[in-house]
Amino acid sequence: MKLNKLPKTTKRKKKRLGRGYGSGKGGHTVGRGAKGFKARSRVSLVFEGTKTKKSFLKRLPLQRGKGKFKPSKSKPLVVNVKYLNLYKKGEKVNLMTLVEKGIIVDEEAKKQGVKILGDGDLRVALTVELPASKGATEKIIKAGGKVIEVKEKIALKKKEKQLKTKKKRK
Which residue ranges form the domains of the chain, and what is each CATH number?
15-54 (no CATH), 77-169 (3.100.10.10)
The arithmetic mean of pLDDT across residues 71-91, rounded, is 88
Read off the amino acid at residue 111: K
Q: Cα torsion for 100, 102, 106, 111, to the nearest 10°?
A: -130
Please tell me the predicted confidence (pLDDT) of residue 159.
67
What does the alpha-carbon distance between residue 66 and residue 41 come to, in Å, rounded to a whole number?
23
**168: pLDDT confidence band, cut at 50, 70 and 90?**
low
What does the alpha-carbon distance between residue 87 and residue 85 come to, in Å, rounded to a whole number?
5
> pLDDT digit string (tens) for 148-157?
876 655 555 6
Please tell me the predicted confidence (pLDDT) of residue 55.
76
Please tell me the predicted confidence (pLDDT) of residue 150.
64
Please tell me the predicted confidence (pLDDT) of residue 141.
93
Please tell me the predicted confidence (pLDDT) of residue 82.
93
What does the alpha-carbon distance between residue 38 and residue 88 come to, in Å, rounded to a whole number?
63
Whether the predicted pLDDT of 52 surpasses 80:
no
* Three-state DSSP class for residue 117: strand
The arithmetic mean of pLDDT across residues 66-82, rounded, is 83
Whether the predicted pLDDT of 40 surpasses 80:
yes
